[in-house]
Chains A and B, each alone.
Chain A
């Protein structure tokens, strides 16, 4: 048993030393800009898009539904950060889409780049000609009839907009979205 204790002690000493090394080194760090995890940032973007868009069906809605597929796991970020919040005086609700589920019950649908093409096609078809905002992080989303594409340039999250598609489906995006977008198609 003695040897185990010795080893345990040795281990903790090693841990402590390593921790100390990390702490000391980072104390002399360079400026750390505001940063956050991709998941959290993505949710923050979705929240902003919801705030800054207009739905023609708004008056008839009792709540705003944000839909996500299974492929991108936001963990609890989505539920804890936006669920229950108010958007344009209506509560926000999160819905998890299974393959085959109808996306036309949503107000915003986020289709991850990890989603199967067959699911993406189905959900884009579900919302075709309906006032539903579509967002994705896949690089060819605008070519496939999507409205907003999130682009990770390696250090920041940017976005591009397909205005033609948005207008066609009756979503009115605020000028702020269009100004900040890296690129707007059909401006």
Chain B
């Protein structure tokens, strides 16, 4: 019996390098394997961050990593973390205008359409092989929410971990994380990756928020606690990959947003998200690739907020308000990638998702006073086509279009993209891009609304890019961009909300970037993004709130002791931002230093990160949901030490 001469768990290390040529030609090519190309289909200047970068700069969360990318503005309200892109951010909204993906699978949930990037994100940083960021709108391939950018996080495989790894980290503000990771690849190609972690951070004991002087001297005591649990697994065999992940995060909220009682420990939110995804990726023939996947996701959220009874016309001095969401969705997608026709690279895809449950509710707990209750369900589906047509050896056109049906809006959405890429010389490339994208109203905007549901938001983006390689490992980049957002969903009132498509924003700017890599692994990178983003809503024309006009980012990493250690310096400058009371939150410098072992020594691998070395308690701009705060201070210098042991 020939069967199972190579059982699944056979211990046979790959010896392909020792094979002579005549045997090598008989080794079967694993059909789904391809070169690691940028898996995101985009003609724009895609930014790629690697696992090496994560180690070099000691990034603790996806948000830390994204903060290093030109044009991205990361901010937190001490509950969630938000992304602004090239000057545009919509203070007060969830993170619904950037699409976050894991291995090409959409992670934005279906209640607020938010994509998580902080400790509420599903993956631990050690699982990330690379992060791809496509600036600009990407609805022509990815559908809704890809308004300002697409982030695709690609996970490592079992063989990258190769064994059992236990890791513990401790940091300032009573921050701890424990993690166990197991990875293995068997000789028959089967690969397994398992990861689990727990995280706890007490945060600063005392946080000062101006404006609450009548309560505890304006100090929020022990109010910044955060903890999470994460699990992720990936098993692949042949053309199949099964992935599943789960995250549960608790965060106490110190800012007393939404005019709740200040310094009250019953003010927190809990978000949990999970998914399971079965992916079939194969090459039908060397020129035709097929990917089919099925998925199931869920997202649950609840928060408790303490109010003075008068807010709800109740005699009680203090009542607790519960807000909760319960959602699940499932669906499938299929994608064909063809290089069968000379000079053409075609991608055709179909995606369908059933939002089986979108339940969102809010009420005063005791005495029970119902407030809002929304239930929805429905289909969303999209079909897309993209062609990369090489007209001549130096001229390429990348054109795509996607048609979307979304149950939260009445009309079909058609979003095109056209990119013209001209290789002027081997060292000089020029690109011209146009694309559009949309966002459907989320359940909050659609169902908890006084008037009729608003329609979709739209963005049109225009971009010109030049890339120049003058030699000696140097890459220079310049971009000019214009983003026009219209019908942006805004509300004037809180409870009952009144969502209308009144928002209108225009953003114009440029970027310069320079990067040099040395043969020994040293790397130097500097980017500057300048923009002018105007809020033209309601016939006004003002500088958009919380929009920094300049961002300068500097990265330098140096291999030490024959590449046994890496030393990384990161400096992020964010310019002043307008607050809602027309004050200026001053510009700030965030300077981080990281020292890490490149490879384990006797199984041990250590790293040390010092964050915000300059100890600047810089000001974040408060969102409109807080009537008391205009700005509030971020944490000062923190340190993190991590130790990993591999078996």
Does the CB pair B3–A156 fall under 8 Å? no
B28 touches A22 (CB 8 A): no
Contact with B along A172-187 (1 / 0, CB 8 A): 0000110110000000
B315 at the interface (CB under 8 A from A): no
Minimal Cβ-Cβ distance residue in A for B300 = A4
Across the interface, B17 reaches (CB within 8 A) one of A4, A27, A81, A101, namely A81
Inter-subunit contact A156/B25 (CB<8 Å): yes
Structural contact, B270 and A4, CB atoms closer than 8 A: yes
Query: Taking the complex as formed, is A122 at the interface, i.e. its CB lies under 8 A from any CB of chain B?
Result: yes
- Residues of the A chain whose Cβ atoms lie less than 8 Å from the Cβ of B274: 7-8, 11
Partner of A15, one of B27, B35, B244, B300: B244
A38 contacts which of B30, B393, B394 (Cβ < 8 Å)? B30
Q: Is B495 engaged at the interface, CB distance under 8 Å to the other chain? A: no
Are A27 and B36 in touch, CB under 8 angstroms? Answer: no
How many positions in chain A have a CB within 8 Å of any CB in the partner chain?
69
| A119 in the interface (beta carbon within 8 A) | yes
Partner of B242, one of A18, A48, A116: A18
Contacting residues of chain B (6-53) with chain A, CB-CB under 8 angstroms: 6-8, 14, 16-17, 19-22, 24-31, 33-37
Contacts A11-B274, A44-B17 given; does A157 touch B394 at CB 8 Å: no
Q: Which residues of B contact A100 (CB under 8 A)?
A: 425-427, 469-471
Binds A, one of B144-152, B233-241, B618-626: B233-241
A30 adjacent to B30 (CB under 8 Å): no
Are the C-beta atoms of A176 and B22 separated by less than 8 Å?
yes
**Interface 1/0 per residue, A4-24 and B, CB below 8 Å:** 100110011011001100110
Contact residues in A for B31 (Cβ distance below 8 Å): 154-155
Please name all residues of chain A whose beta carbon is closer than 8 Å to the beta carbon of B21 when the two chains form the complex.
45, 48, 52, 176-177, 180
Q: Which of A90-119 contact B (CB under 8 A)?
A: 95-96, 98-101, 112, 114, 116-119
Complex: A1 Cα to B219 Cα, angstroms: 29
Residue count of chain B within 8 Å CB distance of chain A:
65
Contact partners of A60 in chain B: CB under 8 A: none
Q: Is B522 an interface residue (CB 8 A)?
A: no
Most chain A C-beta atoms within 10 Å of own C-beta, residue among B25, B300, B469: B25
Closest to A122 in B: B426
| From B5, B37, B390, B425, contact of A31 by CB (8 A) | B5
Alpha-carbon distance between A11 and B298 when the two chains are bound, in angstroms: 10
- On chain A, the residues within 8 Å of B28 by CB distance are 33-36, 155-156
Q: Which among B36, B190, B426 has the highest number of chain A CB atoms within 10 Å?
A: B426
Whether, in the assembled complex, A88 has its beta carbon less than 8 Å from a beta carbon of chain B, the answer is no
Residues of B within 8 A of A74 (CB): 35-36
Contact (Cβ within 8 A) A39 B35: yes
List chain A residues, Cβ under 8 A from B37: 71-73, 114
Complexed CA–CA distance, A37 and B217 (Å): 63
Expressed in whole angstroms, the Cα–Cα distance for A48 and B423 within the complex equals 34
Please measure, in the bound complex, the distance between the C-alpha atom of A42 and the C-alpha atom of B27, giving whole angstroms: 11
Is A40 located at the chain interface by the 8 A CB criterion? yes
Given A99-B469, A117-B390, answer yes or no on A32-B6 (Cβ-Cβ < 8 Å).
yes
In whole angstroms, what is the CA distance A118 to B8 when docked?
45
- For A23, the chain B residues whose CB sits under 8 A away are 8
Central interface residue in B7, B21, B278, B427, by most chain A CB within 10 Å: B21
Whether the pair A27, B471 counts as a contact (CB closer than 8 A) is no
With the chains together, A43 CA to B605 CA distance in Å? 28
Does B368 sit at the interface, judged by CB under 8 A? no
B: residues with CB less than 8 A from A are 2-8, 14, 16-17, 19-22, 24-31, 33-37, 188-190, 231, 233, 235, 237, 240, 242, 244, 246, 248, 270, 272, 274, 276, 278, 283, 285-286, 298, 300, 390, 393-394, 423, 425-427, 429, 469-471, 473-475, 517, 519
Q: Told that A37-B33, A41-B24, A71-B37 touch, could you supply 10 new A-B pairs with CB distance under 8 A?
A: A18-B278, A34-B16, A36-B14, A37-B29, A44-B17, A72-B35, A74-B36, A96-B517, A100-B470, A118-B426
A residues sitting closer than 8 Å to B (CB atoms) are 1, 3-4, 7-8, 11-12, 14-15, 18-19, 22-23, 26-45, 47-48, 52, 71-75, 81-82, 95-96, 98-101, 112, 114, 116-119, 121-122, 152-159, 176-177, 179-180
Q: Sorted from nearest, which 3 A-B pairs have the closest CB atoms?
A: A100-B427, A35-B28, A37-B33
